[in-house]
Amino acid sequence: MVGYNMGHLASGTVEVVCGPMFSGKTEELIRRVRRAQIARQKVQIFKPTIDDRYHKSDVVSHSSLSVEAQPVTSSTEILANLYDSTRVVAIDEIQFFDEKIIPVIKKLARRGIRVICAGLDQDYKGSSFGPLPELLCMADRVDKIQAICTVCGAPASKTYRRNAEEMSDQVLVGESDHYEARCRGHWDDHEEDEDLLAFSHSLQSGETSHVSE
Ligand SMILES: [Zn+2]
């Protein structure tokens, strides 16, 4: 018999907080961690070593709220460093992890652990970032949060990179000197997909189209 009130069989959950840069993803991760700590749950926080913007051992958000985080160089290191008593695992900058992060998260959830992930869903080109597509798909809860467009003040779900032509690396960790949050209209570089453009032209000139102008 399976009841839903059997504490020892509590199932884990996977939560994802995603969005562009400057949307407050890490603040939200820290907020959830703090609440778990108030509830006296053992929390462990991990982040990839690639993110060394501020301190080596802190998840540091842009508003300088911070919690202790353990830097790891690979996904499997999370499992290797896990304590038996840990009930909540928070992982920041999830987009920089290797593809093994998916089976690692599944394993954590299977152990009954609440996994909270935060990271970029898209790079500055608007392409999906690292393990995010599969992660968003398998998650129990997804919160896609927005920043504010630096041009017009509208909600922003895109990360815009200034001087993009000078750089080609997707994994560039930087602050506001390279990136800003933009709404879709102010992010779009108007380089439309050639195939899509050709397709729409063929529709306009084709017999099946009855649209004038
Ligand atoms: Zn805008």
DSSP string, 24-35: -HHHHHHHHHHH
Q: Among candidates 182, 172, 134, which has minimal Cα distance to 19?
A: 182
- How far apart are the CA of 25 and the centre of ligand 1, in A? 20
The H-or-E segment that residue 44 falls in is strand 43-48
Which residues have a beta carbon within 5 Å of ligand 1, which is an ion? 149, 151-152, 154, 183, 186
- Going from N- to C-terminal start, the domains of the chain cover 7-145
Residue linked to tokens 């009855």 = 210
Beta strands in 137-177 (DSSP E): 141-144, 147-148, 155-156, 158-161
Backbone angles phi, psi at 165, to 5 degrees: -70, -20
- How far apart are the CA of 186 and the centre of ligand 1, in A? 5
Residue range 7-145 forms a domain whose CATH class is alpha beta
- How far apart are the CA of 148 and the centre of ligand 1, in A? 8
The predicted structure's pLDDT at residue 53: 55
Q: Among candidates 134, 125, 126, 127, which has minimal Cα distance to 105?
A: 134
Ordered per-residue pLDDT tens for the chain, 213 residues: 444 444 455 789 999 999 999 999 999 999 999 999 999 999 999 999 875 555 556 666 655 556 788 999 999 999 999 999 999 999 999 999 999 999 999 999 999 999 999 999 999 999 999 999 999 999 999 999 999 999 999 999 999 998 766 655 555 555 557 899 999 999 986 555 556 666 667 776 665 545 554
Positions marked catalytic: 93
Please say whether the dihedral angle defined by the alpha carbons of residues 167, 169, 170 and 175, taken in this order, is positive or negative. Answer: negative
The predicted structure's pLDDT at residue 93: 94
- How far apart are the CA of 124 and the centre of ligand 1, in A? 15
The predicted structure's pLDDT at residue 8: 53
